[in-house]
Structure 1
């Protein structure tokens, strides 16, 4: 969506709610029709508590992420997303799970090449972009309306799609039963951000990702929304006995307990 349109919608609660309902309705119709011919729901239900008493790492694409740190967690269960494949030429590490739900970046060919990784795909991406992957599992992404933010208890019904794909990965990991979750590469720094009032802020010299990203001058991050989502995820996990810790080297995400990557690997 063009930034000017997004800003206009963001400034009007009525327009934002109206646009969200349209997207949710279209996604729901697509998912119901498509999943009736596929086994997406069954595949998601089969994952429930499949990873109990285990730990996982959720990988962000922040500028602090390095191939050497990824090598340290080879053999661990890992979730990654979006343009993580840009690091592949520099490391033998590969994620166990890959998640895509945003349509930015024109990455269809790269996503379709991930034939040896379990790919989870949001229905919005599947509807707008599509895929040639045979083993992909598509989930229904439900966008919250107004302040009604929640954390999905059953991803076979829907995943709450809000602000950041990391929130989606947290919902997947919790549903699968992981009891310890570590966040790596979550710098929470963005060149352009938009707040709840639809106001745009640009920061000079700030990098979004570990790779050179031309779209950083056009893609706008909802950093306030991200912090809301992270806060809700923290509370949900605490109430279910799940520990989420941030092992990112530096960065600005302070919602979760901090720990060094080396300390996490010694546990």
Structure 2
């Protein structure tokens, strides 16, 4: 994990963390593909050509026989994307000669109150959901302005689980069980907001209708206008 320090070399002070919520269907991803982006999990099922800067694979399933072919195909077809995953999955990929763009992490620490550890070269705070973990990686790398897209986080309030690339999947757990685990994710976001305030960073939710209420809200169009107007300088944001 020591090589993760090389991820701290960044060209912008802002990035986009993109979830897989159904609202992403209505967003103009072409407008942000030239900027630093974090995508997650099965995002490329819906946008196979999108040139992610980083792709985060937090779930252990990405090392098993069912999901590993997806990861290998993604690695081969996206020649500049850097892949961030768990240490055990990273080791498995390294044995398959997928070396240069694989970054392993060790997310084993429990999130409690305002405790968050983002250091990717050491044990990190674990997460029930991939988005808080992707935010932690962005904070570690040095991004001072982190914009969330496609982070609806409303599956526990719907009868079916929706993603922008697949509609109407029956839930695997009851609404009550989903709500219980989702509460942990909400409190993780609250801790990340407190961490951002302590470190002079901004996390801003650009997802219309998102149930994540930890961060200030804005819209993608307004943020893109600010980027153009300020020539990528968010010091006065």
The alignment's TM-score, normalised by the length of structure 2, stands at 0.79
**Aligned partners of 2:148, 2:27: CA distance in 1, in Å?**
16
Query: Matched residues in 2 for 1:261 and 1:218: separation?
Result: 32
Which protein has the larger Cα radius of gyration, Structure 1 or Structure 2? Answer: 1
Residue 171 of structure 1 is matched in structure 2 by 136
For 2:70 and 2:137, the matched residues in 1 are separated by: 22
| SS of equivalent to 1:207 | strand
Aligned-partner SS, 1:113: helix
Structure 2 counterpart of 1:107 = 67
Change (3 A) 1:149 1:215: farther
Q: Which residue of 1 aligns with 2:229?
A: none
**Match for 2:86 among 112, 122, 133?**
122
Structure-2 change in CA distance of 1:163 and 1:216 (3 Å):
farther
2:123 corresponds to 1:158: yes
| Cα pair distance change 1:216/1:118, threshold 3 Å | farther
Any conservation in 2 of the 1:247–1:259 contact (CA below 8 Å)?
A: yes
**Which structure 2 residue ranges, 5 or more long, are not aligned?**
227-237
Rounded to whole Å, the distance in 1 between the matches of 2:136 and 2:118 is 8
Q: Which moved more, 1:206-215 or 1:67-76?
A: 206-215
Matched, 1:44 2:4: yes
| Structure-2 separation of matches of 1:56 and 1:210 | 21
Measure, in 2, the Cα distance between the counterparts of 1:149 and 1:109.
Answer: 37
Whether 1:240 and 2:199 are equivalent positions in the alignment is: yes
Pairs within 5 Å for 1:171-190: 171-190=136-155
Residue 251 of structure 1 and its aligned partner are, at CA, apart by 2.5
Residue 101 to residue 263, structure 1, CA distance change in 2 (3 Å): same
- When the two structures are superposed, what TM-score results if normalisation uses the length of structure 1? 0.71
Select which of 213, 216, 223 maps to 1:257. Answer: 216
Residues 150 and 124 of structure 1: is their aligned pair in 2 closer, same or farther, counting only changes over 3 Å?
farther
How far apart, in 1, do the equivalents of 2:24 and 2:171 lie?
Answer: 20
1:1-267 maps to which residues of 2 (within 5 A)? 40-41=1-2, 43-48=3-8, 50-51=9-10, 54-66=13-25, 68-89=27-48, 92-104=49-61, 106-115=66-75, 116=79, 117-126=81-90, 130-131=92-93, 132=96, 133-135=98-100, 136-144=102-110, 147=112, 150-191=115-156, 203-204=158-159, 206-212=160-166, 217-218=171-172, 221=178, 222-267=181-226
- Note the C-alpha offset of 1:122: 0.9
What is the CA-CA distance between 1:180 and the residue it aligns to?
0.6
Task: Provide the residue aligned with 1:35 in structure 2.
Answer: none
Q: Larger deviation: 113-122 or 75-84?
A: 113-122
